[in-house]
Homo-oligomer: A and B are copies of this chain.
Amino acid sequence: MPQATSPLLTDLYQLNMAEAYLAGGMMRTAVFEFFVRRLPPTRNFLLAAGLEQVLDFLETLRFEADDIAWLASTGRFSPRLLDYLSTFRFAGDVDAVPEGTAVFANEPILRVTAPLPAAQFVETRLMNILHLQVLVASKAARCVLAAPGRALVDFGFRRAHGAEAGLYAARASYVAGFAGTATVEAERAFGIRSFGTMAHSFIEAHASEAQAFLDFARARPEGLTFLIDTYDTEAAARTVVRIAPVLAAEGIRVGAVRIDSGDVAALAARVRAILDEGDLRDVTIFASGGLDERELARLVAAGAPIDGFGVGTSLTTSEDVPALECVYKLQEYDGVPRKKLSPGKATWPGRKQVWRRYDADGRMAGDTLSVAGDDLPGAPLLVPVMAGGRRLAPPPTLGSLRERAAASLAALPAAVRRIDAAADYPVAVGAPLQRLSAEADLWIAERRDRP
Contact = CB atoms under 8 A, between A and B. Distances in A.
A368 interface: no
A240 to B, nearest CB: 13
Interface residues of A, number: 118
Interface stretch (A86-94, A116-124, A386-394): A116-124
Contacts of A230: 340-342
A161 B158 CA distance: 14
Query: Most B CB atoms within 10 A — which of A30, A203, A207, A323?
Result: A323
A16, A26, A230, most chain B CB atoms within 10 A: A16
Interface stretch (A125-133, A272-280, A369-377, A406-414): A125-133
A333 interface: yes
A285 to B, nearest CB: 16
A5 B194 CA distance: 19
Interface in A1-40: 1-6, 8-17, 19-20, 22-24, 26, 30, 32
A61 interface: no
A22 to B, nearest CB: 8
A197 interface: yes
Interface string A277-309: 000000000000000000000000000000000
Given A8-B184, A317-B161, A345-B261, A206 B17 contact: no
Interface centre among A199, A202, A261, A263 (most CB of B within 10 A): A199
A379 B159 CA distance: 30
Contact of A4 (B2, B74, B116, B342): B2
Interface of A: 1-6, 8-17, 19-20, 22-24, 26, 30, 32, 70, 74, 76, 78, 116, 120, 123-125, 127-129, 131-132, 135, 155, 157-168, 182-185, 187-188, 194-211, 215-216, 218-220, 222, 229-232, 235, 242, 260-263, 313, 317-319, 322-324, 326, 328-330, 333, 338-345, 444, 447-451
